[in-house]
Amino acid sequence: MKTWVVLLCCFLLASCARQTIRIQNEDASSVGVTKMHHFFVGGIGQRTNVNAAEVCGGAEHVAVVETQQSFLDSVLFLVSYGVYAPRTLIIYCRK
């Protein structure tokens, strides 16, 4: 029973996080890509590179780059006891 209470507390205390970088002042008109990146052992010392200009067809078309730890990402992190730590990347393009 204690284990379930601890797991429930961890689940409820786990928060979602979002980092947003606005490249253009205009609103984004379309989503260029939404992709889950895979990290392990909490993602310590790991990184991934994505060329947003390539995704949107040029640097002038990149509007917003956003990374987030969504609810699903948090659930996967908790279920794997921190071994698997995914993050979701969203790139918004302008036309």
Question: CA 20, 24, 25, 26: dihedral to nearest 10 degrees?
Answer: -100
Is residue 84 scored above 70 in pLDDT? yes
| Residues 65 and 21 sit within 8 Å (Cβ to Cβ) | yes
pTM of the predicted model, to two decimals? 0.73
> Would you state the pLDDT for residue 65?
87
Lowest mean pLDDT among 16-25, 58-67, 86-95: 16-25
Quickly state the pLDDT bin for 6 (edges 50, 70, 90).
Answer: confident
